[in-house]
Structure 1
Amino acid sequence: METFGEKVKRTTKKVTRIILIVLLIAGVITFSFLYWGTYEDGVLAGKVLRISQKGVMFKTYEGKINLETFGALKGTSPIAESFDFSVEKGDKDLVKELQTVALSGERVNLYFVKRYARFPWRGDTKYFATRVERLK
């Protein structure tokens, strides 16, 4: 016959195991949402100033685009505003295209997505370029 203490031990182990499994599943779901979830997607128009590979432990591609915004008054000079972005590691074709337009100085449309969280092995920003479109 089982004693009261043995029943409590068995029940405690079972409850602890269930709690750990639920916490593990919740952690995996949360990480997946933060890693792959998209908070925003859009397009920026401007000139790519630079695209470079940075990092000590994790080498990531980082870029900067110059957005020329104009004031409300006619005849005012453009205000130089820059926007930092990252490029996914496996997207070598996009990196080459960005390097080409950075060297040519042409105006482009840069399509991007914004992630919920920043991870050091992925990039310095939450913004990731997805494609670049040259303006005619």
Structure 2
Amino acid sequence: MRTVKFIFLGIVIIALAILSYFLFGNYSEGNRAGTIAKLSRRGVLIKTYEGQLNIGGISTDGSHTSPLWDFSVSNGEKEVIKQLEDAALTGDHVKLYYKEKFYTLSWRGETKYFVYKVETAPNHGNRTQ
């Protein structure tokens, strides 16, 4: 009977470890560049910071498009939130560094992409080549 309890306990511990990895581990890391289109603090009971990055681009027919990339920012990232708010006001180009999660939990953010670092470049108007 003790052996069965130990086996069951081992299975539960392994299952919890795997679940924790998928909930809190990173699927990928990367960066994206563009201008901040929106940053808001959202939620009814638990507030999260959600934003959109205008990454721009050119479609296959040559017309300019404005694809938006949705991202979240953890509440504890106060400096990142301040940098994003400033960039949204000034229209500066930013490079956002993010970690993509396997899954998201509603109290952490609405997207799987969590920004943890911001680099800004002053906007010198539209540059043509």
TM-score surpassing 0.5?
Answer: yes
1:105 to 72, 87, 91: 91
1-side partners of 2:106 and 2:4: how far apart? 33
Partner of 1:63: 51
2-side partners of 1:20 and 1:55: how far apart? 39
Q: Is the aligned partner of 1:41 residue 2:41?
A: no
Any unmatched runs of 5+ in structure 2? 123-129
After superposition, the Cα gap between the structure-2 partners of 1:59 and 1:20, relative to the gap in structure 1 and judged at 3 Å, is farther
2-side partners of 1:89 and 1:31: how far apart? 23
Q: What per-residue deviation string (whole Å, max 9, x for no partner) do you get for residues 66-93 of structure 1?
A: 11012356xx331110010001121111
- Whose helix fraction is larger, Structure 1's or Structure 2's? 1
Partner of 1:54: 42
Partner of 2:13: 25
After superposition, the Cα gap between the structure-2 partners of 1:89 and 1:23, relative to the gap in structure 1 and judged at 3 Å, is farther
Q: Percent identity?
A: 34
Any unmatched runs of 5+ in structure 1? 1-10
Residue 31 of structure 1 deviates from its aligned partner by: 2.6
The alignment covers a number of residue pairs equal to 122
After superposition, the Cα gap between the structure-2 partners of 1:55 and 1:16, relative to the gap in structure 1 and judged at 3 Å, is farther
Partner of 1:5: none
2-side partners of 1:98 and 1:20: how far apart? 48
1-side partners of 2:95 and 2:63: how far apart? 21
1-side partners of 2:44 and 2:60: how far apart? 43
* Structure of greater Rg: 1
